Chains A and B, each alone.
Chain A
Amino acid sequence: MQLDVLYFAWVRERIGLAKEQVTTDAQTVADLVKELSVREERYQAAFQDMTVVKVAIDQTMVSLDAPLKGAREVAFFPPMTGG
């Protein structure tokens, strides 16, 4: 499956990318995180503490164990600080 993966704020800075296309067989968000983390150190730096990283699939917030089936866009970002 091919996914658009988006990164925001310090997650984006640590990975060094705002957006990329990822081809993966990961079943869940957690699987994708694991897969990216072993791929390169910068992903590991961004994903080392997933309690401070939030995830959205197709622009809706989900938990780490959410399935990726049918997903087109996955986004990783820190807790929001707007307002």
Chain B
Amino acid sequence: MSVSVQAEDFDLGVEVAAMTSGNPDIGAVVTFIGLVRDTTGGALLSMELEHYPGMTEQALSQIEQAATKRWSLNASRVIHRYGNLQTGAQIMMVATASAHRSDAFEAAEFLMDYLKTDAPFWKKEHFKEGGEWVASKAADDAAKDRWSS
């Protein structure tokens, strides 16, 4: 169980190998990667990720602990980048490992839903004409709320 907030890129394969090596109880690994997406058809120059150092790590750890309490996980890993990222770049990853797939799938979705609304990150899209902060989506709140019903 660990979280990292970093400027550097990451390698999903290396991260998963580190989670599973020496852990023969793991039968399932689910991973998710979020990428910088250009919604404008070519106008996006880059995406800036701002965060709240200190609170970010704390919030991610709390979300990970909540997932570990709720599902039977052998390991989990959350990495989220900050700084200025190019189109197509990896923004973040979540990986969950469990004996059977259902725990890993559900925990990965839970981690993503809570991360979206509770981890202090903000995205700004940069275009030739200037920058624009990405607005939060009501759908993200709804996705999180389904876990408390």
Contacting pair A82 B54 (CB below 8 A): no
Q: Once bound together, how far apart are the Cα atoms of A61 and B85, in whole Å? A: 27
Tier of interface size on chain A: 10 to 19
Residues of B within 8 A of A82 (CB): 49, 51, 80, 91-92, 115-116, 119-123
A-binding segment of B12-20, B23-31, B66-74, B130-138: B130-138
Q: Are A77 and B122 in contact (CB under 8 A)?
A: yes
Q: Mark A48-83, 1 if CB is under 8 A from B, else 0.
A: 000000001001110000000000000101111111
Are B115 and A59 neighbours in the complex by a CB distance under 8 Å? no
Interface residues in chain A, defined as those with a beta carbon under 8 Å from any beta carbon in chain B: 6, 8-10, 56, 59-61, 75, 77-83
A6-B52, A80-B118, A81-B116 given. 7 additional CB < 8 A pairs? A8-B120, A56-B52, A59-B52, A80-B119, A82-B91, A82-B92, A83-B34
